[in-house]
């Protein structure tokens, strides 16, 4: 019958139900009800309907572990290529178009960059054996696909809310909510699900390293921890998209509880490694071990590439590629994390979002 028909029928049924409740009778005045649009031509084609019924009956008869008859499903799909009326052309659909034309208060725009904001700060191990095997582009592409999926889900929620709102002019609950705030996740899982995939992955890796601190080399644990710490300490926090509710703005001045939780998790992940203050984080091990004494003091620094747009005038202490000492970059990350956490604690809690009730 088509989406427009079902939406109109739903509004009509709800209007009829309201009239019955107001009049106290079992019948309603059909003349005052809105007319239904014409159903799709597909609903009048018995051949197409039989193909659909045949496929759905077969699927409905299957058990949980039973294998579908794909030959039967294929025959049903092939049936749609038969009895095609060339006079009634069907408009083509651009399956690659992921954007919705509907306007929403809160959208997850796939046009914006999916790359994390690091504030111009970077800390990377340069040795081939120490480079993270996961390419950053993999997470960026995954985040782009995730945003497109959330955009489509938000469009469905908006359309459903708009249909319900048209019944009596009242606002429907959750009409402008994010696709991730509709009850699919709860609690901390919902908070994490709103964050970019890069942050979710970096947090999982840092917490895994913290749980297995006796098995993970210190310099690799520091590498993974800095991937999480740098965007939290120096990047911009998207309050409107990443905090709870649908009413927050980046400059509202209230406490960002999800941000505070991430800051604390990041600090906790560094505790099992003595906050990366050991020499093994920044120097190669000696061939003879620490018992060599004098040789241990002459250990060579690890090759670390650093960039810093915050304080670009600092002289280089890292001769292997960088404009700042790796230890200074790490120390500044710790300081910025603690400062941000203290600043958030001094703010008031944000008020709850406005609630509206009705169809």
Higher pLDDT, 83 or 243: 243
Site of tokens 């914006």: 112
Rounded distance, CA 216 to CA 104, Å? Answer: 45
* Maximum mean pLDDT: which of 44-48, 76-80, 203-207: 203-207
Q: What is the DSSP letter of 345?
A: H
Q: Is the pLDDT of residue 240 over 70?
A: yes
b/e burial code for range 53-89 (CB count within 10 A of at least 16 → b): eebeeeeeeeeeeeeeeeeeeeebeebeeeeeeeeee
b/e burial code for range 227-259 (CB count within 10 A of at least 16 → b): bbbbbbbbeebbbbbbbbebbbeeeeeebbebb
Helix (H) or strand (E) holding 306: strand 304-308
Question: Quick check: 223 and 122 in contact, CB under 8 A?
Answer: no
Question: Quick check: 8 and 37 in contact, CB under 8 A?
Answer: yes
Query: Across all residues in the chain, what is the average pLDDT?
Result: 75
Higher pLDDT, 108 or 94: 94
The first and second tokens of residue 120, run together, are: 């111009």
The first and second tokens of residue 81, run together, are: 């290529």
Rounded distance, CA 327 to CA 278, Å? Answer: 11
Percent of the chain having pLDDT more than 70? Answer: 70
Q: What is the mean pLDDT of residues 60-82?
A: 87
Place 90 in a pLDDT band, splitting at 50, 70 and 90: low
Decide the pairing of beta strands 304-308 and 121-125: antiparallel
Higher pLDDT, 339 or 156: 339
Q: Is the pLDDT of residue 279 over 80?
A: yes
The first and second tokens of residue 59, run together, are: 């699927």
Q: What is the mean pLDDT of residues 238-254?
A: 85
Percent of the chain having pLDDT more than 90? Answer: 23
């Amino acid at each position: 019958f088509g989406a427009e028909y079902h939406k109109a029928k739903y509004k009509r049924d709800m209007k009829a139900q309201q009239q019955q409740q107001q009049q106290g009778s079992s019948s309603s005045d059909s003349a005052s009800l809105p007319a239904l649009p014409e159903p799709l031509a597909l609903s009048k084609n018995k051949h197409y309907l039989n193909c659909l019924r045949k496929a759905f009956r077969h699927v409905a008869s299957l058990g949980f572990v039973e294998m579908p008859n794909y030959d039967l499903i294929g025959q049903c799909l092939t049936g749609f290529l038969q009895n095609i009326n060339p006079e009634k052309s069907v408009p083509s659909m651009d399956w690659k178009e992921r954007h919705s034309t509907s306007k929403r208060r809160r959208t997850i725009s796939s046009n914006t960059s999916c790359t994390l904001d690091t504030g111009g700060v970077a800390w990377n191990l340069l040795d081939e054996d120490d480079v993270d095997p996961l390419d950053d582009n993999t997470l960026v592409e995954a985040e782009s696909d995730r945003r497109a999926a959330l955009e489509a889900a938000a469009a469905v929620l908006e359309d459903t809310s708009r249909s319900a709102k048209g019944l009596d002019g009242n606002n429907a609950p959750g009409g402008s909510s994010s696709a991730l705030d509709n009850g699919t996740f709860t609690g901390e899982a919902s908070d994490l699900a709103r964050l970019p995939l890069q942050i979710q992955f970096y947090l999982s890796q840092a917490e895994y390293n913290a749980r297995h601190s006796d098995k993970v080399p210190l310099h690799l644990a520091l590498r993974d921890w800095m991937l999480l710490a740098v965007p939290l300490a120096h990047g911009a926090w998207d309050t409107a998209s990443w905090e709870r509710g649908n009413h927050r703005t980046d400059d509202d001045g209230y406490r960002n509880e999800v941000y505070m939780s991430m800051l604390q998790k990041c600090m906790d992940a560094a505790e099992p490694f003595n906050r990366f203050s050991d020499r093994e984080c920044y120097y190669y091990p000696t061939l003879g071990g620490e018992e060599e004494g004098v040789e241990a003091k002459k250990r060579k620094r690890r090759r670390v590439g650093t960039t810093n747009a915050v304080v670009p005038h600092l002289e280089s202490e890292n001769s292997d590629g960088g404009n700042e000492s790796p230890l200074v970059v790490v120390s500044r990350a710790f300081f910025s994390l603690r400062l941000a956490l203290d600043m958030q604690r001094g703010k008031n809690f944000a008020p709850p979002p406005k609630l509206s009730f009705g169809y």
